[in-house]
Amino acid sequence: MQWHIFCRVIDNFGDIGVCWRLAVQLQKDHGQEVSLWVDDLAAFQQIEPEVLGATEVQTVQGIRVFHWTAQTSGLEAGSPADVVIEAFACELPAPLALALQERNPPPHWINLEYLSAEPWVTDFHLGQSPVGRLTKVFFFPGFTAGTGGLLAPPAGTESLVAEMATATARAEFLNSCGIHAAEGERYISLFSYETAALNGLLDALVQEQGWHLLVPQGRAMAGVNRWCGDDLPAVGTRTRGGLRLSSLPFLSQPEYDRLLAMCELNAVRGEESFIRAQMLGTPLLWHIYPQEDNAHVIKLNAWLDLLLAECPQPLAAELRSAHFCWNDMPESRPADWSYLLSELPQWRDHLRKWQTVIRRHGDLVTNLMTYCK
């Protein structure tokens, strides 16, 4: 089948991150013909270095990539595809929406929605809306039966966590980022939005020996620099007490997967990195994208309700409290970072069980393929 995917970049890397993983898996794992329209090639280029900026049409990893501008009709790739995906309600160009009505046989027109753990998602997954002679279908990713599932790791990366548990693989990866690995150290990655809770975590880490905080370029870097009292080099390392802190270059998706797989704890944000950490079964702190009227608080609580349903106490209570603190929720109490760091083995065991739970419902790409066939 031919697939056309349309993406507008809203949250820098989350939207294009999801769309690019979707496109790659359709093409590589399922042999589909895929075209991708993106309005922000600069953001795309940061997660996929093969992308050329200011290029109207290019082919990247076998996928045709179009720069989506106000002048783009969506018809540049020829006739409308078998499946047309509006990612996150981005709205198709008017000429393409009109052309879809004339295609015979009619295409699948899918609105790929944002991820939520809220119970109402199962009622709206595969909901339909008539548009002329066509029907637009709303496809909801999710954590439970009755949803579209989650984007699975790419084929061939199932053993990534075991591979990156070896000292050799970790050292090779860090060396490729310009960072020296010290013997016996333990790793935490930090890719989040700004949060006042960061100081508490760093204060706890500095009291112990052997932790190495890895910070890819992003919004969290400013908070790290303030805590250090000195800017980290663009790529390099500082030491404070028993803690090493290293700034990494912005990573491509395969490189970021390796970073997640090697770390004992991953602070992630938005949707794309949030999914990756869970599908790899690693302990994580989620910084959810803030929304007006605190709508994100409801979404965070819904996910925590599912995640912690079978988690032993008191770990479950501390993880909920830590997420409230990490997301700067009003009246949240300071997280007990020392306790959580000491309980990382139990935390990891629980995430491995959670990984099994969320994979029971199939992965997003396979579920999309099954629906469209």
- CA dihedral (257, 261, 262, 267) positive or negative: positive
Distance CA 220, CA 211 (A): 18
What's the pLDDT tens digit per position in 231-274?
999 889 999 998 999 999 989 999 999 999 999 999 999 899 99
Residues recognised as catalytic: 15, 271
Banded model confidence at residue 80, pLDDT cuts 50, 70, 90: confident
Banded model confidence at residue 78, pLDDT cuts 50, 70, 90: confident
DSSP class per residue in 42-104: HHHHHH-TTPPTT-SEEEETTEEEEE--TT--S-TTSS--SEEEEETT----HHHHHHHHH-S
Banded model confidence at residue 194, pLDDT cuts 50, 70, 90: very high
Q: Which among 78, 81, 74 has a CA at the least distance from the CA of 106?
A: 81
Which contiguous run of DSSP H or E holds residue 226? Answer: helix 221-228
Banded model confidence at residue 11, pLDDT cuts 50, 70, 90: low
Q: Which among 159, 191, 166, 162 has a CA at the least distance from the CA of 181?
A: 166
The residue-averaged pLDDT of 25-49 equals 95
Residues 6+ away with beta carbon under 8 Å from 340 = 318, 319, 322, 347
- Cβ-based neighbour number of residue 119 at 10 Å: 11
What's the pLDDT tens digit per position in 317-369?
999 999 999 999 988 999 999 999 999 999 999 999 999 999 999 999 999 99
What's the pLDDT tens digit per position in 171-187?
999 999 999 999 999 99
Q: What pLDDT is attached to residue 293?
A: 79
The percentage of residues in the chain with a pLDDT greater than 90, rounded to a whole number, is 87
What's the pLDDT tens digit per position in 89-146?
999 999 999 999 999 999 999 999 999 999 999 999 999 999 999 999 999 999 999 9
Q: 289 in helix, strand or coil?
A: coil
Q: What pLDDT is attached to residue 20?
A: 96
Banded model confidence at residue 371, pLDDT cuts 50, 70, 90: very high
Q: What pLDDT is attached to residue 12?
A: 66
58 to each of 50, 61, 106, how far by Cα in Å? Answer: 10, 10, 27
DSSP class per residue in 297-360: HHHHHHHHHHHTTTPPTTHHHHHHHHHHHHTT-TTPPPP-HHHHHHTHHHHHHHHHHHHHHHHT
Q: What pLDDT is attached to residue 220?
A: 94
What's the pLDDT tens digit per position in 161-172?
999 999 999 999
Residue showing tokens 């699975």: 152
Distance CA 212, CA 234 (A): 17
Position 156 pLDDT exceeds 90:
no
Tell me the HSE value of 108 on the side-chain side, using a 13 A CA sphere.
21
Position 62 pLDDT exceeds 70:
yes
Position 160 pLDDT exceeds 80:
yes
Banded model confidence at residue 292, pLDDT cuts 50, 70, 90: confident
Residue showing tokens 């109402």: 120
Q: What pLDDT is attached to residue 158?
A: 72
Q: What is the mean pLDDT of the chain?
A: 94
Position 28 pLDDT exceeds 90:
yes
Position 294 pLDDT exceeds 90:
no
The residue-averaged pLDDT of 71-93 equals 92
Q: What pLDDT is attached to residue 129?
A: 96
Domains of the chain and any CATH numbers? 2-152+362-372 (3.40.50), 160-359 (3.40.50)
331 is written with which tokens? 């009246």
Angle at 175 between CA 174 and CA 179, to 5 degrees: 65
Q: What pLDDT is attached to residue 157?
A: 72
The residue-averaged pLDDT of 208-228 equals 94
What's the pLDDT tens digit per position in 266-282?
999 989 999 999 999 99
